[in-house]
Amino acid sequence: MIRPFLIAAACAAVVLSSSATFAQQAGGTAAEAKAMLVKAVAAVKDNKTKALEMFNNGEGGFLDRDLYVFCNKLSDGEFVAMGNPNAKAILGKDVRTLKNAEGTNFGQDIFAGEQKPEGQITEVSYLYPKPGADKTPVPKISLVTKAGDLGCGVGYYK
């Protein structure tokens, strides 16, 4: 009688701790987003062509849960990298045209943040769907900065 109880208690403990662990790992943090952005800027400076390929393919640590790199040209706003596998249609479009479900043009804020001096990181808050099947917009903050002739960013969900 005691043995089945102990097995059940152990199973319950595993289930409870694994769901808590999953909840902690569900999304990236602000610190992780900033670290990925700093790494992305370094990659662009080292070899822009290779970096953009890695960003677009989600390779080299540039796609982690719901954290991903995006980049656009500073000259005309054209997206040249989009690490979100569900948003590849955005490639070639102008970042300044991005609007959320409420019609707020957050793309202008992203582009403006990217125009600031190199090394300066700007936070841009807006609503955007998480990567995956659910297209419901949720609060998101993107950290954006200048990387040579590109503007790059990494966002995290609140």
Model confidence pLDDT, tens digit, residues 40-66: 999 999 999 999 999 999 999 999 999
Number of helices and strands (H, E) in the chain? 4, 6
pLDDT at 79: 98
Residue 20 lies in a domain: no
| Contact yes or no for 37/154 (Cβ under 8 A) | yes
User: Is 125 a domain residue?
Assistant: yes
- Find the CATH number of the domain harbouring 80: 3.30.450.20
Instruction: Give me the pLDDT at residue 25, please.
Output: 52
- Please report the beta strands in 54-113, taking only residues with DSSP state E, as ranges in sequence order: 63-64, 67-73, 79-82
pLDDT of residue 67: 96
Residue 12 falls inside a structural domain:
no
Q: What is the dihedral of CA 93, 87, 140, 43, to 10 degrees?
A: -80
pLDDT at position 78, please?
Answer: 98
Q: What per-residue confidence (pLDDT) applies to 132?
A: 75
Q: What is the pLDDT of residue 88?
A: 93
72 C-beta neighbours (distance < 10 Å), count:
29
What are the residues whose beta carbons fall under 8 Å from the beta carbon of 94, sequence distance 6 or more? 72, 76, 77, 78, 79, 107
Say if 15 falls within a structural domain: no
Is residue 139 included in any domain, yes or no?
A: yes
Q: Which residues of the chain have pLDDT under 50?
A: 1, 3-24
Which pLDDT does position 34 carry in this prediction? 98
Q: What is the pLDDT of residues 121-138, one digit of tens each?
A: 999 999 988 877 688 889
- Is residue 16 domain-resident? no
| 2 within some domain | no
Q: What is the pLDDT of residue 86?
A: 84
| 32 in any annotated domain | yes
Those residues whose C-beta lies under 8 Å from the C-beta of residue 131, and which sit 6 or more positions away, are: 66, 68, 84, 85, 86, 87
pLDDT of residue 4: 41
Domains contained in the chain, number:
1
Q: Which domain holds residue 56?
A: 27-157
What is the reported pTM? 0.82
